[in-house]
Amino acid sequence: MIKILANDGISKSAIDYLQQNGFYISTTHHHQDDLINVINKEEYKVLLVRSATKVRKELIDLCPKLEIIGRGGVGTDNIDVEYAKEKGINVFNTPAASSLSVAELVFSHLFGLVRFLFDSNRKMPLSGDVEFKKLKKSYSIGSELKGKTLGIIGFGRIGQEVAKIAIGIGMNILAHDKYIKNAEVELKFFNDEKKSFNIKTENLNKVLANSDFLTLHIPKIGDQPIISADEIGMMKTGAGIINTSRGGLIDETALMFSLDKGKLSYAGLDVFNNEPNPSTHLLMHDRISLTPHIGAATLEAQERIGKELSDKIIAHFKK
């Protein structure tokens, strides 16, 4: 029987599906230092990971029976992919499975920002009983998203999902992408009707200057932030910014400065420099809506990830 180790877990439906197809699967998490021994002792042929488990050259060299390394999710920074491939190991990930979940998190932050939910949820438990009217007044200058312009930096899988939701709620969109010149975005409605929009991407400066909100959906390449003080300076006064992409894409110091000075109104962050120990200044800032890197973490995304990994494993061994 072919044995699979899902070291960072996998959905229940994927476990059932793989077992029905004759595989043995363990979801016991083994510490990084024990992994090589466990894989060899138990003769696992498939190692499935998310972001926690590292699959480096040493493991690849010392586990010669491994045939598949599967990553549930987008990035593969935790796997020595090219080295594994050179050794004949089949390496794959599930890049599209969580796009919608990340896109919806962008709007969780956006809807919350424009009505100050992030701040209200902090202050209501502390003083909502005695300072109700004062709090009501301070949150009475909210705004609507409909009719506003959302700038989308990076118009790949997630950027396009974001565009669909934005169009659906009546926002204008301006997209920028280094490589994609235009994209066909299709909205599907409750009654099976469909409507396609061909969106042409624009240069970065135009998007920065004309957006009420900016959302980032590009990979992190190199050490330089794509949004630093200069780019913030080009943005509309009072704009908001969301980063659910990767820590380091925004200069966090410049961001806090611009929030303090009123250049930007608010920010929503799911990703941070120095995760999992982000700056406490950032965490304490009263104009930032915060989530701890949960963009892909929905039940639906985990189901899709499990199904996609399972199908790829089944296809590999049926060859």
Catalytic site positions: 246, 275, 293
Is the Cβ of residue 123 or residue 293 nearer to ligand NAD in the bound state? Answer: 293
CB 143 within 8 A of CB 114: yes
36-40, Cβ contacts within 8 angstroms, sequence gap of 24 or more: 36/62, 36/63, 38/5, 39/5, 39/63, 39/65, 39/66, 40/65
Is the Cβ of residue 127 or residue 182 nearer to ligand NAD in the bound state? Answer: 182
Residue 278 found at the interface with ligand NAD (CB under 6 A): no
Q: Which of 72, 156, 248, 268 binds ligand NAD (CB under 6 A)?
A: 156
Residue 212 found at the interface with ligand NAD (CB under 6 A): no
| Window contacting ligand NAD (CB under 6 A); options: 31-39, 228-236, 244-252, 277-285 | 244-252
Residue 98 found at the interface with ligand NAD (CB under 6 A): yes
Residue 219 found at the interface with ligand NAD (CB under 6 A): yes
User: Which tokens sit at 186?
Assistant: 């299709």
Q: Please, what's the b/e burial string for 200-226 (b: 16 or more CB within 10 A of its CB; e: otherwise)? A: ebbebeebbebbbbbbbbbebeeeebb
Instruction: Give the x-and-dash track for 112-151 against ligand NAD (CB under 6 A).
Output: ----------------------------------------
Residue number of the CB atom closest to ligand NAD:
156
Residues 222-241 that bind ligand NAD (CB under 6 A): 226
Residue 251 found at the interface with ligand NAD (CB under 6 A): no
Q: Least separation, in Å, of the C-beta of 247 and ligand NAD? A: 10
Residue 70 found at the interface with ligand NAD (CB under 6 A): no
| Total site size for ligand NAD, rule CB under 6 A | 30
Q: Least separation, in Å, of the C-beta of 129 and ligand NAD? A: 35
Residue 132, φ and ψ in degrees, nearest 5: -55, -50
Q: Least separation, in Å, of the C-beta of 52 and ligand NAD? A: 13
Residue 270 found at the interface with ligand NAD (CB under 6 A): yes
Residue 157 found at the interface with ligand NAD (CB under 6 A): yes
| Window contacting ligand NAD (CB under 6 A); options: 55-63, 185-193, 288-296, 303-311 | 288-296
Instruction: Give the x-and-dash track for 73-92 against ligand NAD (CB under 6 A).
Output: -xx-----------------
Q: Which of 119, 177, 212, 252 binds ligand NAD (CB under 6 A)?
A: 177
Which of 249, 286, 281 is closest to 265 using CA atoms? 286
Is the Cβ of residue 103 or residue 135 nearer to ligand NAD in the bound state? Answer: 103
Enumerate binding residues for ligand NAD (CB under 6 A): 74-75, 95, 98-99, 102, 153-159, 176-180, 217-219, 226, 244-246, 270-271, 293, 295-296
